[in-house]
Structure 1
Amino acid sequence: MRELNMVKAINDALDVMLARDPDVLVFGEDVGYFGGVFRATEGLQAKHGIRRCFDTPIAEGGIIATAIGMGAQGLRPVPEIQFADYILPAFDQLVSEAARLRYRSGGEFWAPITVRSPYGGGIFGGQTHSQSPEAIFAHITGLKTVIPSTPYDAKGLLIAAIECDDPVIYLEPKRLYNGPFDGHHDREIGTWAGHPAAQVPEGHYTVPLGKAAVVRPGDAVTVLAYGTMVHVALAAVDETGIDAEVIDLRSIVPLDIETIVASANKTGRCVIVHEASRFGGFGGELSSLIQERCFYGLETAIERVAGWDTPYPHAFEWDYFPGPARIAAALRRVMENT
Structure 2
Amino acid sequence: MRSLHVGSCGLRASLARRWYADPMAGDATARTFRRYIGVDLGGGKGKNTAVALLEADGEGARVRHVSRKAPTGRPYHDEQLLAAIEEHGDGALLAIDAPLTRTVCTRCTLPRCLGLEACEDPVIEWFRGAGRQLVSERIRTGAKPTTTPYTQRACEVVLHRRYGILPRETFGQGMGPLTARAHYLRRALEQRFKLNHNLIEVYPKATLTRLCGEGRAKAYKRSVGTWRTRAEILEELGDRLRFDVWREGCLRDDHCFDAVICAYTGYLWAEEGWALPEEHRQVFEADGWIFFPRPDEGRGDGVIDDEEANAVAQERGPVVVDDD
**Range of TM-score over shorter length:** under 0.3
Higher strand share: 1
TM-score by length of 1: 0.24
TM-score by length of 2: 0.25
Structure with bigger RCO (C-alpha 8 Å, 6+ apart): 2
